[in-house]
Structure 1
Amino acid sequence: VGKKQISLETFLFLLFLTLLYLEISMRVGTAPICIYGQAGCPSSSLADFFDRVIQQSSRMHGISSSLHSESQNFLPRRNFIGKRKCHTYSIPTPDDKENAQRLGREQMIEVILRLLEAWSDPLSQFHLSMSPDQDQDFNQYGSNKALEISDMLHQLREGMKILGALGNSVTFLSPESFVPVSDFSFYKRGELNSVDHHNLLFCLNRDANKVKNYLRVLKCTTFPGTDC
């Protein structure tokens, strides 16, 4: 988290995506993405690209789910879920598959990117708040998983930007589209308590699930011939 060097896994993942992007770009040129199964369409490479990104999002959701579950065993149990909004509440997201399918490709990519961008700082806050003097087992576990998820966030952001470029979608997010700094106010640097931890991990798991599901919808709308 922060300004650390990227891991070897992240480097290899991004290298794979970059090489696959170059391969698809050379084969497609400036033509729009074609229908899955169409003659002469390099859909298999692009479908593989989607599958790789979706697999990574599923891994991220799995790790966030495990982290949230583990927190129930180590952190004090309190009836607090729902008292605070997730900091990503200002990002308009589809609430079901049907509404997600109504979004255009560019809109869906922007929603996914905004969710991914919104978690870099809170994960950094979470990592910094893991004091080795308290709940040592969970803090070590939580700190390691926060770093792992941060790597995945970086990989997925780059993957989404490449997917946007392949579809000639706008991938640059203006500062106005980011989650306002004020929405991070309950994630104070180095001052998170057990309630903050619970709330953050609950929201992380929720948003990771959204990203995974939206990516699946995006693949289905890109390749109408696939089994969705």
Structure 2
Amino acid sequence: MARFLQGSRLYLAVTVLMCVFVSIYGVGLNDLLERASQLSDKLHSLSTSLTNDLDSHFPPTGRMMMPRPSMCHTSSLKIPNDKDQALKVPEDELLALTRSLLMAWSDPLALLSSEASSLAHPERNTINTKTRELQDNINSLGAGLERLVHKMGSSSENLSDLPFYISSLGQDKTSRLVNFHFLLSCFRRDSHKIDSFLKVLRCRAAKKRPEMC
């Protein structure tokens, strides 16, 4: 009986390892990049839709209070300015930049998700739903990028640490709405970069000519 149990446990362990191996290595690089690109495209579309929802009832004074884009916590990361520059960056570095940007939004999106339901905005229920969807999608994309790391043989050495120290969006209704909008606009900008970098990686993996990307 003991030998049977040991054999069953060994079989189960091997089966689990095989499932992990297949899930990581059984999908081709092009397919993984295609799936990641689809997720990143959805993230950017969702952040754009959320911005439009906020803009539908945003106080004029709020726009005057909005911080400059250079105040985004990811602004210190040195990244390609356009597609031509991105095409010159090695694949592992471009993937590391993409992962750094995505990881930098883990805490900010958690804050937005926790604050969305109590915003002083008539569309807060819709905003709350979309913000949670945004958080779910970024988690899915993060898992996808980890699979890409295994597939491409990249490391974590080139990842940049972009800490986020804000724990509250403010005390009054206007400040909270403005800071929510500002963080979302920063994410919208970064989600476009993530989407662009992944599409460049997908294009290069398919060995297309630069002018075709």
State the TM bucket, normalised to the shorter chain. 0.7 to 0.9
Q: Report the counterpart of residue 145 of structure 1 in structure 2.
A: 130
Residues 161 and 171, structure 1, Cα contact 8 Å, conserved in 2: no
Cα distance between partner residues in 2 of 1:148 and 1:82 = 26
Matched, 1:71 2:74: no
Q: Distance in 1 between matches of 2:21 and 2:71?
A: 37
Larger relative helix fraction: 2
Deviates more, 1:137-146 or 1:109-118: 137-146
In structure 1, list runs of 5 or more residues that go unmatched. 1-16, 25-44
Give the equivalent residue in structure 2 for 1:111.
97
Q: TM-score, normalised by structure 2?
A: 0.77
Identity %: 27
Q: What's the offset of the Cα at 1:19?
A: 4.5
Distance across 2 between alignment mates of 1:68 and 1:118: 20
In the TM superposition, what are the counterparts of 1:214-225 in structure 2 within 5 Å? 214-225=197-208
Q: Which stretch shifts more, 95-104 or 71-80? A: 71-80
Aligned equivalents of 2:168, 2:26: Cα separation in 1? 44
What's the offset of the Cα at 1:129?
Answer: 2.0
Question: Which amino acid is 1:23 matched to?
Answer: G
Q: Is the 8 A contact 1:127 1:147 kept in 2?
A: yes
CA contact (8 A) 1:165 1:171 kept: no
1:194 Cα offset (Å): 2.0
**Aligned equivalent of 2:154:** 169
**Residues 212 and 168 of structure 1: CA distance in aligned 2, closer, same or farther (over 3 Å):** same
**Deviation sequence 1:103-143 (CA, Å, 0-9, x none):** 111111111011111111111111222354732x3221222
Query: Residue 99 of structure 1: CA displacement?
Result: 1.1
Q: 1:22 aligns with which of 15, 25, 29?
A: 25
SS at match of 2:71: coil
- Residue aligning to 1:160: 145
Residue 168 of structure 2 is matched in structure 1 by: 188
In structure 2, what is the Cα distance between the partners aligned to 1:196 and 1:141?
A: 18
Contact 1:57 / 1:212 at 8 angstroms: preserved in 2?
yes
Query: Which runs of 5 or more residues in structure 2 are unaligned?
Result: 1-19
Size of the aligned set, in residue pairs, is 187
SS in 1 for 2:154: coil
